[in-house]
Structure 1
Amino acid sequence: MSHPLFDIRGRVALVTGSSRGIGRALAQGLAEAGCAVVLNGRDRHALERTRAELADRTGATVHAQAFDVTDPGAVAEAIPRLEDLAGPLDILVNNAGMQHRAPFTEFLTEDWHRLLETNLSSAFLVGREVARRMTARGSGKIVNICSVQSEVVRPGIAPYSATKGGLKMLTKGMCADLGPSGIQVNGLAPGYFDTELTAALVADETFTAWVRGRTPAGRWGQVGDLVGALIFLCSPASDFVNGQLLYVDGGMTSVL
């Protein structure tokens, strides 16, 4: 039997950007841990497919709520609606994000704004709306999905790194504002993970050799590697952990 400090059975969790990839894996992990999970994305059909698959696989209560996390009006309308459906949110995982690679001098202005809105503004908008309700209840766990690029950078991803660095500081600022209300806000920062979104990089032998050589663990991360860290950050075990980034990167950010 696991330690009761890690027991999150019966909690209600919203995971944004959870129809595929890391978001889906995080949602599945929370469902397997006994949470009722609300999935989010913009593609209703993909979202419903994922909902049905996760409900069948885990036996948990899984809801799907399609809304645009970068639209303030849509967020303000969706959070009350999904709480009416699933119950008051105990956990928010701000996972929605995207990547775009280009040399700095060739990076288009519209792509810069798209990254900002998706990777940073969405966490602010959803976090603000959920935090208003958590504050009134006096408790809650918010986990922002950051990145090793919250700390370090490679050529071609300067704007992405700027958004993830901003998300690190938003996490710390949310901790400062929300901690007195009994809310813990932390960041989970994956390293290089093998997902459908990184399939081309995984298939690139030169890049994969670089990842393996740069990572003390000597491999790409698998999405299941993130679940234990997420459960810790969502559980009573982390009640005195606030404003921190937990890097799950096989040691990449610890070495030169």
Structure 2
Amino acid sequence: MAEAFDLTGRAAFVTGGTQGLGLAIARALAEAGAQVAITSRDERKAAEAAEALSRDTGGEVVGIAVEVTDEGSVSRAVEQAVGRFGSLDILVNNAGINIRKPILEYDEQTWDLVQATNLKAPFLCAKAAAPHMIKRQYGRIINMASMLGQVALPERSAYCSSKGGLIQLTKVMALEWAEHNITANAVCPGPFATDMNKVVIDNPEANRYFLDRLKVGRWGQPTELAGLIVYLASESSGFMTGSALTIDGGWTAE
């Protein structure tokens, strides 16, 4: 059965892959045998993270600097990965930000930044990657959405909107590229213990609010995404496309 999830010979591109969920995702793909390109705005940070991940996993990992909200930068980064690996089979759109403010305090510039990073960037990355997948008649696109694309919390207007939009964008990708043996699925994490959520975890009142709604009684650990990601990246998930898979400790079960 293990061979069904073997990614040897596959090439992956993971945005925001130097920390948090992105790093855990890149590690899981590398451990499953994939060649992995991880990105960051900071070239040195990308290179250092790639070197460490390659050393830890024994896999081929390369760091690439990219501004995911800029089409030219994205195109160059994808071409760099394809030039290194010879193909691009797996795209994980993970880069994202969450800026928390009440709606009446949200300025236009901040709103646009969240939308560009969380929604425009996956569109640009998929647009750049898909032609390479179409050429090979194979591809796996994994968009990291959020449970907050399905349910809401106060002070997350931009984040909830962007992640809800990403779930819908995923469905369109699935419909448009199914004939080319390309699947597109959204993963919708709930509260995971990452740097992005540190501000909540470190606030006793906010942390208690979250723990009260997490039916498993704790925050998720990034490593708990590994199995799902490898499945969605593998040939075994070929009949699943256009889905939004929630992994949230039971938050949205009620």
TM range (shorter): over 0.9
Aligned-CA RMSD value = 1.0
Partner of 1:201: 200
Partner of 1:155: 154
Partner of 1:36: 35
Structure 2 unaligned spans of 5+: none
Q: SS at 1:240's partner residue?
A: coil
Separation in 2, partners of 1:113, 1:203: 27
Q: Deviations over 1:213-255 (max 9, x none)?
A: 1011111000001111101111122100000011111111111
Residues 191 and 248 in structure 1, CA contact (< 8 A), matched pair in contact too:
yes
> Percentage identity across aligned positions?
36
Partner of 2:135: 136
Question: What letter is aligned with 1:78?
Answer: A
Q: SS at 1:100's partner residue?
A: coil
Q: SS at 2:83's partner residue?
A: helix
Per the TM alignment, residue 197 of structure 1 is displaced from its structure 2 partner at its CA by: 2.0
Separation in 2, partners of 1:90, 1:250: 30
Q: SS at 1:97's partner residue?
A: coil
Residues 91 and 142 in structure 1, CA contact (< 8 A), matched pair in contact too:
yes
Partner of 2:55: 56
Partner of 1:88: 87
Residues 6 and 232 in structure 1, CA contact (< 8 A), matched pair in contact too:
yes
Partner of 1:243: 242
Separation in 2, partners of 1:30, 1:137: 20
Structure 1 unaligned spans of 5+: none
What TM-score do the two structures reach when normalised by structure 1? 0.96
Separation in 2, partners of 1:155, 1:212: 17
Aligned positions, number: 254
Separation in 2, partners of 1:205, 1:233: 35
Q: SS at 1:144's partner residue?
A: strand
Residues 144 and 188 in structure 1, CA contact (< 8 A), matched pair in contact too:
yes
Q: Deviations over 1:31-50 (max 9, x none)?
A: 11111110111011211121
What TM-score do the two structures reach when normalised by structure 2? 0.97
Q: Deviations over 1:18-40 (max 9, x none)?
A: 11111111101111111111011
Separation in 1, partners of 2:78, 2:181: 20
